[in-house]
Amino acid sequence: MKQLLIAAHGSRRESSNDEVRALVAQVADNLGVAFDGVEVAFLELATPSVESVLSELFKGQTKEVVLLPYFLSAGIHVVKDIPEEIDKALSLWPDKKITVLPHIGAFDVMASVIAKACQH
């Protein structure tokens, strides 16, 4: 099984975390058959953690996780914290695979998304 994991920062404001959860649900509804499921995890201030989600997925039938960092820039969470979480998981699950996508701010399409938002 192959899962998509969207990893966000997390917030003390629960409604902000709920916004991310709602977006992840929309992604799951629109993703099609490329993945067996879509999960959300947070690096801090909210649950579930990246570590706990990876552990649960790998305890089950998941063989591969594609992780999308839900961050606009390559800050410390993208360049240090997420790789550390992945290294930790793969040390426990060496037979599993984790592919990290670029953070969402790195995608060229973000410029058109911002331009479109400014037209409203």
- The type of residue at 62 is T
Q: Please spell the DSSP secondary structure of 16-74, one letter per residue.
A: HHHHHHHHHHHHHHHSTTS-SEEEEEESSSSSSBHHHHHHHHHHTT--EEEEEE--SS-
Summarize pLDDT for 3-19 with one digit per residue, the tens. Answer: 999 999 999 999 999 99
Q: How many domains does the chain have?
A: 1
Summarize pLDDT for 46-66 with one digit per residue, the tens. Answer: 999 999 999 999 999 999 999
pLDDT of residue 119: 93
Lowest pLDDT segment from 28-32, 68-72, 86-90: 28-32
Give the CATH number of the domain where residue 46 resides. Answer: 3.40.50.1400
- CA 82 → CA 9, 31, 68, 111, distances in Å? 10, 23, 10, 24
Summarize pLDDT for 100-120 with one digit per residue, the tens. Answer: 999 999 999 999 999 999 997
Could you list the residue range(s) of the whole structural domain that residue 35 is in? Answer: 2-118
Name the pTM for this structure.
0.94
